[in-house]
A and B are shown apart, each in its own frame.
Chain A
Amino acid sequence: NAGVMQNPRHLVRRRGQEARLRCSPMKGHSHVYWYRQLPEEGLKFMVYLQKENIIDESGMPKERFSAEFPKEGPSILRIQQVVRGDSAAYFCASSPMDRGLNTEAFFGQGTRLTVV
């Protein structure tokens, strides 16, 4: 899973600030998924994107959270006006264009967000 690059690995934000999490998928992968892992919880699906398209955002909180995957550059998960409850590990996964099966998804190392 070293092929999916997430940065930063650790991010500290004060309440009310914005957090931007970046994900560069593996080479040749054009499907990106974001998951959130709260302490002592399993991973929860947030959003599934293809290049320039949001395919499924059913797991995204209705407010403050947004995601994009532009034609060029990494996928970005943006959290506006962060609150303490946003503190979690955020994982990105990618899968290849020609299959897009979730069984082919490879995860990055995650970004650990701490809101103080």
Chain B
Amino acid sequence: QKEVEQDPGPLSVPEGAIVSLNCTYSNSAFQYFMWYRQYSRKGPELLMYTYSSGNKEDGRFTAQVDKSSKYISLFIRDSQPSDSATYLCATSQGGSEKLVFGKGMKLTVNP
């Protein structure tokens, strides 16, 4: 079983839709949870990170972590064509500098 599983998609939605991206993980020791956005041919860009369980909101983006079910989610409200990118979830253990990434989900928002 991979440490972090992410549905690779692709996912295509109309502009204005609510997008839900999800990952599951297997290692209970993971404490930090991140979402990165990667545009084509570019480096990953940190969108949000959460420590332990709970929700975190930043503008149109909301990150959720449920440690009991080992499930992490990213919600994008009022999606825009500029949100079209690959979204990667990542986790790490406390004190570890190593990030474990999901495969990434390619999102296309159609105008």
Q: Which residue of A lies closest to B8 (CB)?
A: A40
Q: Which residue of B lies closest to A4 (CB)?
A: B43
Contact with A along B50-82 (1 / 0, CB 8 A): 000000000000000000000000000000000
Does B96 interact with chain A (Cβ within 8 Å)?
yes
Q: A13-21, A43-51, A61-69, A76-84: which lies at the B interface?
A: A43-51
Q: Which residue of B lies closest to A47 (CB)?
A: B98
Q: How far is the CB of B23 from chain A (nearest CB, A)?
A: 10
Q: Are A110 and B43 in contact (CB under 8 A)?
A: yes
A91-B43 contact given A43-B88, A102-B92, A103-B49, CB 8 Å threshold = yes
In the bound assembly, the distance between CA atoms of A103 and B50 in angstroms comes to 9
Q: Which residue of B lies closest to A33 (CB)?
A: B97
Q: Are B103 and A42 in contact (CB under 8 A)?
A: yes
Residues of B within 8 A of A107 (CB): 36, 43-45
Q: How far is the CB of A51 from chain B (nearest CB, A)?
A: 15
Q: Are A42 and B88 in contact (CB under 8 A)?
A: yes
8 Å CB contact of A109 from B42, B88, B96, B101:
B42
Contact with A along B78-104 (1 / 0, CB 8 A): 000000000010101000111111111
Question: Can you list 23 pairs linking A and B with CB atoms under 8 Å apart?
Answer: A33-B99, A35-B99, A41-B103, A42-B6, A42-B88, A42-B101, A42-B104, A43-B90, A43-B99, A56-B97, A58-B98, A91-B44, A102-B32, A102-B92, A102-B98, A103-B32, A103-B34, A105-B46, A107-B43, A107-B44, A109-B42, A109-B43, A110-B43
Q: Which 4 A-B pairs have the closest CB atoms?
A: A107-B43, A42-B101, A42-B103, A43-B101
